[in-house]
Amino acid sequence: MPRYKLTLAYDGTDFCGWQKQFPHQDAVTDAPRMDSGIGFQPMIPDPPTESHRPEADAAPTRPRIELRTIQSVLERAVRSVVHQPIIIHGASRTDSGVHARGQVAAFSTIAEDDARGRGGWPVERGTHALARAINSRLPHDVLVAGAEVVDESFNPINGALSKGYSYSIWNAQERTLWDRRTSLHIYHALDVARMHAAADVLVGEHDFAAFAAAGHGRATTVRTVHACAVHAPRESLVRIDVSGSGFLWNMVRIIAGTLVEAGRGRLSPDDIREALATGDRRKAGPTLPPHGLCLEWIRYA
C-alpha cells in the first residue's frame, strides 16, 4: 500500500482555498451552468410570481453548489489516475486567493489489478510518471512539481517542522499588469530599510495574539518565527519573507500589514514590541489581501 507525497504549485486566484467543500443535500446538479472561474454558478430560475407562491417554503430557493478548491481538483485528478477512491491530505489549508509554490499533500493507494490492469499506482511505475499522469488531468492553474514515495505513516500536517511564506507588494505609482495576480499594489513609497528593521523584532518565540485573526481557534497564540526579512528583488517589487514552526490564522498577512505601516512611517519597532507585549490586535497593522501571499515551502524531518 504505497504512500505518495506530492509537492504542489498553484495560482490561487480562481480557487476558494485549499479545503474541499461539498454541496448541500438540496444542491441542484442538473441545472444549466455558467463557468465563473471560481466555481460553477447554476442559473437561478426567476422567483415565483405573487399569484403562484408556495404557502410554506422553508428551504431557500437559491441552490447551493460545491466551490472550486485545490483539494477537490487534485483529488479528482489523482482518482482518475489510480482508479481508486483516494483521499488527499494537505499540509496547509491556504485561504481563498492565496498561492503556493511548495504546498505538500499525500495519499495512499492499494496495488491491485482491475479490469484494465491499472489499479492503484505500484512503486515500480515511478514517481516521475505519476506526476506527469496527474498533471495531464489538472487545470492550468495547478501543477504537481514533484512526487516521491514516503513511509505509510507520513502525515503532511503533523510531520511539518517549519513553513515559509512570502508576501509580495508592487510599490509604484502605476499598477502592474503581469504581477497583478500575485502582488498587492501600494502606490505610497515604502521604506524597505525601516520595514526590515521592524521585521527583526518579530523573530523568535513570542505571543502573537496581536497578529491573529479573531476566532483563530488555537489553544495558544505562542509561536516561533525563525526568520523575517524584507527586500526588493527587483525594481518596484517589495517582498516580505517569513518562516516559522507554525502560524496562526491570517498571521502572515497581519505581519505584512504591520511591516507596511512601518514602511510608511506609521509604526516603529517599539510599537511592534508593544503589540507583542500587550496582545492588542489594534496595535498591529491591517490584514492585507490574500493575493499577495504565497506558501513557499514546507520542511520535514
**Confidence band, pLDDT 50/70/90 cuts, at residue 152:** very high
- The pTM is what? 0.84
Say what the pLDDT of residue 34 is: 32
Cα angle 19, 301, 151 (rounded to 5 degrees) comes to: 70
Q: What percent of the chain has pLDDT over 90?
A: 75
Say what the pLDDT of residue 278 is: 95
DSSP state of 241: E
Closest of 297, 277, 287 to residue 249, by C-alpha? 287
**Confidence band, pLDDT 50/70/90 cuts, at residue 114:** low
CA distances 172 to 14, 175, 285, Å, are 25, 7, 21
Whether 32 shows a pLDDT value over 50: the answer reads no
Calpha distance 6→88 (Å, rounded)? 10
* pLDDT tens-digit map of 222-244: 999 999 999 999 999 999 999 99
Calpha distance 86→108 (Å, rounded)? 7
The hierarchical CATH code for the domain 161-300 is 3.30.70.660
Say what the pLDDT of residue 28 is: 41
Top-confidence residue, 83 or 40: 83
Closest of 70, 73, 75 to residue 86, by C-alpha? 75
The arithmetic mean of pLDDT across residues 20-34, rounded, is 48
Whether 111 shows a pLDDT value over 80: the answer reads no
Of residues 46, 95, 113, 241, which has the active-site annotation? 95
Q: What percent of the chain has pLDDT over 70?
A: 83
Cα angle 187, 190, 193 (rounded to 5 degrees) comes to: 165
The residue ranges of every structural domain in the chain are 3-21+67-150, 161-300
**Can you name the CATH fold of 3-21+67-150?**
Alpha-Beta Plaits (3.30.70)
Is residue 95 annotated as a catalytic residue, yes or no? yes
CB 238 within 8 A of CB 260: no
Calpha distance 185→188 (Å, rounded)? 9
Say what the pLDDT of residue 81 is: 94
The arithmetic mean of pLDDT across residues 103-119, rounded, is 77
CA distances 44 to 22, 140, 194, 214, 263, Å, are 19, 28, 52, 34, 47
Fold match, 3-21+67-150 / 161-300: yes
Whether 214 shows a pLDDT value over 60: the answer reads yes
Average pLDDT in the chain: 86
